[in-house]
Amino acid sequence: MRAVTRVLAVLLLVALSDTHASLQDTPAAGVQVVEISAERFSFTPSEIRVKAGTRLELRLRSDDTTHGFHIIGTDIDIELPKRGRGTTTVEFQPKAGRYTFECSQLCGAGHEFMRGVIIATE
């Protein structure tokens, strides 16, 4: 039991050490690139914080089956091809607010858990 506890504690520390969204340097002025991986049944990162008005370039990739990427309340609803079949890029410039995104392609028993949020603040 002690060994199991120790292993879990180490994994928890590793997890807590890197909890922020994957924001990269911009390829063009004013554009912020975010790489998002989709895997049954989560997006990573699932929480993205930006300043309102930032031009976001979302680079999405699936690590297993076909997924969807839909930002609720917007026209953005795309299909992410299966593992190894490339990255899909979406541009999004949020006003201040919270934008929930979700998998829009049925991907398995836990499909409904596959959600995330973009939080744009002033």
Partner 1 sequence: MTPLLGYRAVSRLLAPVATLLLLATSPALAQTPERPAAARRESRTNLSGYMDFHYNKVEFTDGRLDFHRFVLLVTHSFSDRIRFVGELELEHALVEGLEDAGELELEQAYVDFLLHRSFNVRAGMMLMPIGIINERHEPPMYYGVERPFVDTVIIPTTWFETGVGVHGEVGRGWRYRAFVAAPLNAAEFSAGEGVRGGSQKGSESNIGRAAVTGRLEYVGRRGLTLGASAWSGHSGFEFRPRFDVPVSVVAADARYSRNRLELRGQFAHVAIEHADQLNDALARRVGVDPNIARAMRGFYGEAGYRVISGARFGDVGAFARYENFDTQFRMPAGAVRLPQFDRDAFVVGANFWPDPDVAVKVDYSIVRNRSAFIQAPNSLNIGLGWWF
The number of CA neighbours under 13 Å toward the Cβ of 77 is 6
Which lies closer to partner 1 via its Cβ, residue 37 or residue 88? 37
Shortest gap between Cβ of 16 and partner 1 (angstroms)?
9
Shortest gap between Cβ of 29 and partner 1 (angstroms)?
22
Please provide residue 40's backbone torsions phi and psi, each rounded to the nearest 5 degrees.
-55, 120
Which lies closer to partner 1 via its Cβ, residue 60 or residue 70? 70
SS3 string, 53-100, reads: CCEEEEEEEECCCCEEEEECCCCCEEEECCCCCCCEEEEECCCCEEEE
Residue of 84, 83, 78, 93 whose CA lies nearest to 30: 93
Q: Interface residues with partner 1 (CB under 8 A)? A: 4, 7-8, 11-12, 14-15, 18-20, 22, 37, 40-42, 44-47, 63-66, 70, 72-75, 77, 82-84, 94-100, 105-113, 115-117
Shortest gap between Cβ of 42 and partner 1 (angstroms)?
4
The Cα–Cα gap between 56 and 42 comes to: 20
Which lies closer to partner 1 via its Cβ, residue 24 or residue 106? 106
Which lies closer to partner 1 via its Cβ, residue 26 or residue 97? 97
Shortest gap between Cβ of 112 and partner 1 (angstroms)?
5
